[in-house]
Amino acid sequence: MTLFKKSGFIALLLFGVSSTLTAQQSRTNTSEIVTTAPGLRDTTWRQYIQTADIRSMGLDTLSRVNFWRKVMRLSPDSGVLSYAANRQIYFSCPAEYWNKLGDEGQVKFRDSIRQVHNLPDSAQLLFTRGKGDFYDAAGVVPQIDRAIPIFLAQEVDPFYAKAILLIESPGKLQKSNVGAYGAFQLMKGVAVKMGLKVNKYVDERKDFDKSAWAAAKLIRTVCIPYTNAMLEKRGISYCGEELWYKLLVLHVYHAGAGNVDKVLTAINPCEGDIDLIMTMWKTKAGSFGNASQNYSQLAIAALLELDDVILAETRKTGSLIPR
């Protein structure tokens, strides 16, 4: 969910909001939302999004990424045992089998895994149930096709629409335990600030087009400007087309600029690259905790899962779907 709540708006004070940006936000309203969208199988829009960088950098081979891909595919009645430090999977089994071991049996099983794989006694091994009932790369394709032209209308890279829809609330309309709602999981305060109506009578976050418009506006007017400000403050050069930069913007969307700034301070990077993102996966600061660390890992895994869906569809139908 998008945790831009207080931390995000404190970041506005931290970096300052230009009068131009404020005026731009006040002029934009939901009447500007693009109401037309391509058909559910219209593949023209997908050519704007590519995952070639993920593979060329070898991110598809990382244990953390493959852990999440495995979890995304498994049903809740199955699970995996992984090393918490790097998410290397050492065992997969039905959840019922794991539960039947009981506490004592699970302790002995973990000890045997450590011994077989020469892991230290302190190695934390976690059992994680599958989340295939939540993640649905194939089911979210129609939403991606619908969101891309809305993002393009605001001159926002549709990469963000694709990643957010795949991991926030894929193909579902539900409210998180902290109040984020809609396909883009916007908090009430954020949605209102972006121009949506949210009160006891109406909640425009459930309107897909309006929610997409608000999410694109949030990225354009808040996430990207403050990502740039944080990098410039540290003398780090950047290009908006690079994968590491886009993943950093996604972290700001999820955790808020204030929390991302804290984790960058803890890391104290000299340059921006994919190594910075991977260091964020292992660094906690402020409210940038486990869920925040996982966010870009989930994005990479989900994008690769979607790649497989598109490839399977291509082989099945014989049509070329741009990737």
Tokens 């999820």 belong to residue? 254
Looking at the fold, whether 301 and 160 belong to one and the same domain comes out as yes
pTM of the model: 0.83
State the Cα–Cα distance between residues 214 and 158, nearest whole angstrom.
14
- Can you give the pLDDT at residue 81? 98
CB atoms near residue 90 (< 10 Å)? 16
Looking at the fold, whether 174 and 236 belong to one and the same domain comes out as yes
Token pair for 125: 């091994």
What CATH number does residue 144 fall under?
1.10.530.10
Number of domains the chain is built from: 2
Would 67 be classed as within a structural domain?
no
Looking at the fold, whether 165 and 190 belong to one and the same domain comes out as yes
Domain of 169, in residue numbers = 6-59+135-313
Would 122 be classed as within a structural domain?
yes
Looking at the fold, whether 179 and 274 belong to one and the same domain comes out as yes
Dihedral of CA 119/126/82/265: which sign? negative
Looking at the fold, whether 102 and 249 belong to one and the same domain comes out as no
Looking at the fold, whether 204 and 85 belong to one and the same domain comes out as no
The residues, any chain, with a CB within 8 Å of residue 322's CB and separated by 6 or more, are 43, 44, 46, 47
State the Cα–Cα distance between residues 143 and 169, nearest whole angstrom.
11
Would 322 be classed as within a structural domain?
no
- Can you give the pLDDT at residue 27? 32
Looking at the fold, whether 55 and 17 belong to one and the same domain comes out as yes
For 92-113, how does the pLDDT look when each residue is reduced to its tens digit (9 = 90+)? Answer: 999 999 999 999 999 999 999 9
Would 261 be classed as within a structural domain?
yes
- Can you give the pLDDT at residue 315? 78
Would 230 be classed as within a structural domain?
yes
State the Cα–Cα distance between residues 39 and 18, nearest whole angstrom.
39
Looking at the fold, whether 160 and 251 belong to one and the same domain comes out as yes
Looking at the fold, whether 94 and 232 belong to one and the same domain comes out as no
Would 72 be classed as within a structural domain?
no
Q: What residues form DSSP beta bridges with 114? A: none
Looking at the fold, whether 180 and 112 belong to one and the same domain comes out as no
Looking at the fold, whether 25 and 162 belong to one and the same domain comes out as yes
Task: Please state, in angstroms and as integers, the Cα–Cα distance from residue 230 to each residue in 9, 193, 221, 262, 272, following that order.
Answer: 15, 22, 15, 10, 11
Would 64 be classed as within a structural domain?
no
The residues, any chain, with a CB within 8 Å of residue 301's CB and separated by 6 or more, are 65, 66, 68, 69, 72
- Can you give the pLDDT at residue 316? 78
Q: Are strands 125-129 and 78-83 parallel, antiparallel or unpaired?
A: antiparallel
Would 24 be classed as within a structural domain?
yes
Single residue among 85, 113, 129 that ends a domain in this structure: 129
Looking at the fold, whether 157 and 305 belong to one and the same domain comes out as yes
The residues, any chain, with a CB within 8 Å of residue 2's CB and separated by 6 or more, are 168, 180, 184, 185, 186, 187, 190, 218, 253, 254
Q: Collect the ranges in the chain with pLDDT lower than 70.
A: 1-50, 171, 318-323
- Can you give the pLDDT at residue 38? 39
